[in-house]
Structure 1
Amino acid sequence: MDKNGNVYEKTVLEPNDEIGEEDPEMLKKEMKLNDFFTLGWYTVLIMVVMKLISLNMIGNAFYMMFASAAPKIVSCGSHNFSTAADITESCKMLKEVLKTENCMPEFSYQFKSINVEWNYYCESTKIVKSSITYQMLGLLIGALVFGQVSDNYGRKKALLFTMTFNNVFILASSYATNLVNFTILRFFVNVFNAGCIVVLPIFALEVLPPKHRYWINNIVGGAPIVIISAGIAYLCHDWITYARIISFLGSIATISCCFLSESPRFLIQKGRMVEAKKVIQRICKIDRRKFDETMIDAVLDKENRAFLERQSKTKKYTLLHLFYTPNLTRYALSIGLTFFMTSMLTYALMFNLENIAGSIYMNLVLTGVVRYIAGGFMSLLEIKCPKVGRKTIHFGVLFVASICLMTFFVVQVLGLQAQYALLLRVMALIIMGFIAQIFLIASICATELFPTAIRNLSFSFGQFLNRIGVIMSPQVFFLTEIWHPLPYLAMFSLAVFNMLFFQINVKETKNNPLGDHMPGPEESWCGRRKSKNRPDISNPFDENSKNLIEKDVV
């Protein structure tokens, strides 16, 4: 209602509305902090910085796929191995030759990896693959440390710190002279890269306009960055140049991060209201929008009071509360297993991509293309078909992946790798492209299945098992020592088990409201046991209930 008594039908302020034209008191009550984040020049600045940081993060994630690529043996003395179906077969041929004569093997490679640089080939490549496991331990430590650093000291400071040291250790790793030094330096690269992976999504979530978060994240990260990373690796052609280019691009990202402001939400939670006000004022200035000081003060005061009220009512929850009830236990195990299985399959295939037919660069580009197409198709299907929910997509993707893995297994058992090289290449690209959707489904379900109080804990638990899967993934193809097709049988079994376990234990959450309250004590494991021991007084044939009723009557 305005000063003349006219009633307005509009009750919610849209982001692009001019502030101050309606009743100021009414607007103060309706305005929320999200209303100050609109699609403008500041959002463009955030997108540029996110793009640069994502390029650095994904470049690091794919770095060892190229840096540990095993060379193919083409000949040894007068013996030619060009007819070998893959690297494994050429190694077998070399082993037979070396039994009778002493010759120096000659190699061919698409990317000059550390294997080529330091003569790790055939059986000795296992040492390099094992070093990846030790490197990946850094992801686990970094994720645990920098989430807390971000909450204590701020998103921007945490990003600047992790990006700076990330670039330092990437650059240092390019000067390594042996595998031990290289592994130690890459361990620290992953510690700080994990910090970026943890902090950037939180920072983006807090400063991007709510209506535009999904498409911005799709444009900034994911498939486009994968394709760009493949192009950079192709141009670099060796592990030293590739590391230095990633470090250079990371330095640009670090400098560009300096132009961003701290997250206003973080400042409000820390009670730094004056700084939060200055940040919003700067955002409005960059976007060339009107800055209403009294409106900002009212909204900030309301946000601060709401935060303090939530803090006073918040109970301390731990990871044990994820297993408080039978239902929560089933959900937690399903989400955790899904993250673990997906990361193990993805990285196991990625670190073994040199054994797939075709160019290693083009394979990565095609993986990005398939991932982009799969994401668009699944998103459209989920929007247009009401019956297609989280469980349907999870089942469908893993069903496709299982068929592809079984194809790999059958071809390996029959020894027809050379004849079906193109088919295996297509199968590998489909798995790596489609399986990325499982990460998204697991993240959404971790949000939708658990009540507000333990929602972050559920996601953290999933991410913990995600990193365990990454750490163990290089070991998957060591199973070839037992039986050559065994890695694919193991991955097939894991995919099928996860597919069935998820379908049985997880309820569909599409279009369901998020839960706000923890289950009561009667739903807990202990509460259910007690209820089982209680007599059923509604059953007149229960002897215990008869005695209880008689006592009550007396």
Structure 2
Amino acid sequence: MAGDNDDSSQKNIPQNYSQQILNPTRVIGSDSRSLSSTDFDNDADIKNAVSVAHIVSSSQVATTKPKTFDDLLESVGGFGTFQWLALVLLLSPEIPAAFVTFSPVFTGRTPSQWQCISNDTSQNNVTSTWLSSEEACDCQGKLVTDYSSIVTEWSLNCGSSWVSDFVTSIQMLGMLTGSLAASQISDWFGRKRVYLGVCFLMGVGQLLSSISPNAILYGIARFICGAGISGFMGLSTIYPMEFLTPKYRMLTGGVGPWGEGIMLLALLSYHFTEWRTLVWITALPFVLVFISVPFLPESPRWLLRNQRLKEAVKAIKTIQRINSASCFKNKGNRQQVQVTEELLEKIAMEELQQQSDSTTRFSYVEFFRNDSLRRKTLILMGIWCSWALVYFGISYNIKNLGGDIHVNMAMLGLSDAIGYRTSLLLCNRIGRRKSLILFMTLGAVFLVSLAVSDIFFVLSSTIVIILCFTGKIGVAAARSAARMLTGESFPTSVRTMGYGITGVAAGVGGILSPQIVLFGSLWWSPLPFVTFGVLSILGSVLSLLLPETAGQSLQDTVTTRCQAKSNKLEENLDKSVGV
């Protein structure tokens, strides 16, 4: 009887109800109207119809397979414990990287006063006199000071005063060359190995710096450090980004502890005044990188693009296993996807079906020959060059500002920390491009104000520091936005190479910044701030020329000129036949 009742109650369900409840606006057969309660004889019919629709809906969801890599990431947990773990492990080394980048501020500073100790042998008398940097050149005895640096140890004052800033430029030259090498190697051989390699370079370069017997070997060590720094800056964005879905990619540019690393460096330099001790202590944290990062898998997006399907399956299953055991996993009816080589191959084919570079190894020449890359490459290079000159110029000019250098450095780190978090809040709300324009303009306003005021008025050191650090907040936030915009603008097949070639432009700006600071200290004090303000304006203007990338899926391959023409012909053909 129960079965008869069920049959009698379900026979009154209008035909195609389950299809209509799944898509009520779709015309099914000849019945195009929407269903209402009048189409049923009683409440039992409605309940049975809903049950049927639910069964059909569930079966359709269960058979749905991810078609893109971002869909696959969502199906194995989206943003879960694994993504948090990857961000923590891959971004935490920003702290020792900040040590390496800005340690020359302390190791290469020139004392404002020197103590001249002379020994009059005729009268057996020792005299001590405090002299300014200019007066110290006339000292006939021994010059000493209350702290240690390469300037005091190797007597890099007077006629050799240019050496300290030149060594900083050598570090920036290392950043230029390292950016090219690390980016191309990581696109060819993977993110993980090269990430560990650049951390190794920073640690070794810092240790070599601490034992250098002269300025020449110290400069070579700083070159090695620079090569590691630039490679790290690119890979610390690209590597974790490729584990994330579009909604969360901004975290790679906004939650890193770079600013906190600068503040910690200020604290360490206050307690360790001997420069060699400071340098080797700041190299020690890199040991932790080689303990933790090897447990992370290679970027599955890179593996998939290079047809290394077995390794990609293993990496995806690792992500799925960690996220499935997580209290952070998204709730709801998320399907459990069986990750197989066949599924990944289908995703790869889906994403590459209209592309032609799946097995091509690109060179840097292609960035200027390829129509789809040339314009964005040149614009991003201009933005990064102007940004680097302003950012590193302000940072290395800190030793020429009034006040305590340790407090100034701590404020510098605080401005970075505030800038990155501000960028994190805005980039997903208003987009990467608008955020970059806003932050570069903010930096320009304060730096131009500082330059104009410095030309026409005599400013107190407090006002100079406030204006400088407020402008630095805008410049630091611009870096976070520019990192994301750059990473999302280039396809996976050349993404780190794209970051590398823009890093070359940043390296050029970094090389010039210490020299502008030196010229300002020697010739015209407003020169650095005038230069920084003008370049910030230039960066804002260039940012207007880029497309928005927020919320977009990452492109995996490059569209060549022939493929672009073929796609255009297909579009025109479709239009001509009325498709």
Report the alpha carbon displacement of residue 347 of structure 1 after superposing the two structures with TM. 1.7
Aligned counterpart in structure 2 of residue 397 of structure 1, from 435, 438, 443? 443
Rounded to whole Å, the distance in 2 between the matches of 1:515 and 1:260 is: 21
Q: How does 1:51-70 map to 2 (within 5 A)?
A: 51-70=91-110
Residue 464 of structure 2 is aligned to residue 424 of structure 1: yes
Does the CA contact (< 8 Å) of 2:81 and 2:323 recur in 1?
yes
Residue 154 of structure 1, aligned match among 190, 200, 205:
190
Q: 1: CA distance between counterparts of 2:354 and 2:408?
A: 49
Distance 1:341 1:436, change over 3 A: same
**Contact kept in structure 2, 1:479 and 1:486, CA below 8 Å:** no
Aligned to 2:502: 462
5+ residue gaps, structure 1, are 11-19, 82-89, 522-554
Aligned pairs (5 A) from 1:139-150: 139-150=175-186
Separation in structure 1 between the aligned mates of residue 363 and residue 215 of structure 2, nearest angstrom: 43
Aligned to 1:45: 85
Contact conserved, 1:54 with 1:220, CA < 8 A, in 2?
Answer: yes
Distance 2:194 2:546 in 1: 37
CA distance in 1, matches of 2:452, 2:442: 15
Q: Which amino acid aligns with 2:172?
A: M
Q: Match of 2:34?
A: none
**Corresponding residue number in structure 2 for 1:102:** 140
1:506 matches 2:545 = yes
**Superposed counterparts of 1:365-384, under 5 Å:** 365-377=410-422
Give the counterpart of 1:27 among 50, 64, 70: 64
Distance 1:456 1:292 in 2: 32
Q: Give 1:86-485 correspondences, 5 Å limit.
A: 90-95=132-137, 98=138, 102-109=140-147, 112-215=148-251, 217-289=253-325, 294-297=338-341, 299-312=343-356, 334-377=379-422, 390-410=436-456, 416=458, 420-443=460-483, 460-480=500-520, 483-485=523-525
Classify the secondary structure of the residue corresponding to 1:477: helix
Question: What SS class does the counterpart of residue 113 from structure 2 fall into?
Answer: strand
Comparing 195-204 with 286-295, which one deviates more in the overlay? 286-295
* Structure-2 separation of matches of 1:514 and 1:274: 24
Amino acid at match of 2:95: L
The answer (yes or no) to whether the contact 1:322–1:458 under 8 Å persists in 2 is: no
| Count of residue pairs brought into register by the alignment | 489
CA change 1:299–1:232 in 2 (3 A) is farther
The Cα shift of 1:451 comes to 9.9
CA contact (8 A) 2:355 2:559 kept: no
Distance 1:286 1:254 in 2: 21
Report how far residue 138 of structure 1 moved.
1.5
> 1:45/1:385 Cα in 2 relative to 1: closer, same or farther (>3 Å)?
closer
Moved more, 249-258 or 455-464: 455-464
Conservation of the 8 A alpha-carbon contact between 2:386 and 2:538:
yes
Structure 2: 5+ residue stretches without partners: 1-15, 24-56, 117-126, 327-334, 563-579
Task: Give the Cα–Cα distance (whole angstroms) in 1 for the partners of residues 146 and 289 of structure 2.
Answer: 35
Offset, 1:465? 0.9
Q: Which deviates further from its counterpart, 25-34 or 319-328? A: 319-328
Structure 1 residue 469, shift from structure 2 partner: 0.7
TM-score, reference length from structure 2: 0.71
Alpha-carbon distance, 1:153 to partner: 1.7
**CA deviation profile, 1:8-55 (whole Å, cap 9, x unmatched):** 869xxxxxxxxx975465322567222125333323332332243222
Q: State whether residues 390 and 513 of structure 2, in contact with CA within 8 Å, keep that contact through their aligned partners in structure 1.
A: yes
Q: 2:263 corresponds to which letter in structure 1? A: I
Question: Residues of 1 paired with 2:466 and 2:309: CA distance?
Answer: 55
Sort the Cα spacing of 1:123 and 1:177 in 2 relative to 1 into closer, same or farther, 3 A. Answer: same
Q: Deviations over 1:222-280 (max 9, x none)?
A: 43333233334334333322322232100111221111111111221222212221222
2:52 maps to what in 1?
Answer: none
Shift of residue 423, structure 1, vs aligned partner: 1.7
RMSD between aligned alpha carbons? 4.2
Task: Measure how far apart 1:466 and its partner are.
Answer: 0.8
User: Separation in 1 of the partners of 2:203 and 2:546?
Assistant: 43
Q: 361-370 or 215-224, which moves further after superposition?
A: 215-224
Q: Deviation of residue 179 (structure 1)?
A: 0.9
* CA spacing shift, 1:5–1:279, aligned 2, 3 Å: farther
Contact 1:57 1:193 in 2 (8 A): yes
Task: Measure, in 2, the Cα distance between the counterparts of 1:304 and 1:256.
Answer: 30
- Deviation string for 1:414-470 (max 9, x for gaps)? xx57xx122222233223332223334545665788999998776554322111111
Query: How much has 1:317 moved relative to structure 2?
Result: 8.9
After superposition, the Cα gap between the structure-2 partners of 1:371 and 1:169, relative to the gap in structure 1 and judged at 3 Å, is closer
CA distance in 1, matches of 2:140, 2:154: 20
Q: Distance in 2 between matches of 1:237 and 1:303?
A: 56
Deviates more, 1:20-29 or 1:217-226: 20-29
Q: Equivalences for 1:510-525 in 2 at 5 Å?
A: none
When residues 165 and 102 of structure 1 are mapped into structure 2, their CA distance, relative to the original with a 3 A threshold, is closer
CA 273–140 in structure 1, closer or farther in 2 if over 3 Å, else same: same
Q: Using the alignment, how far apart are the partners of 2:66 and 2:213 within structure 1? A: 64
Cα distance in 2, alignment partners of residues 125 and 397 from structure 1: 30
Aligned equivalents of 1:217, 1:481: Cα separation in 2: 33
Q: Which amino acid aligns with 2:393?
A: A
Tell me: CA distance 1:373–1:450, structure 2 relative to 1, closer, same or farther (3 Å). same
Question: Cα 1:78–1:320, aligned 2, differ >3 Å: closer, same or farther?
Answer: same
Distance 1:229 1:51, change over 3 A: farther
State the Cα distance separating 1:200 from its structure 2 match: 2.6
Q: Which has the larger radius of gyration?
A: 2
**Would the alpha carbon gap of residues 475 and 432 (structure 1) be closer, same or farther in structure 2, given more than 3 Å must change?**
same
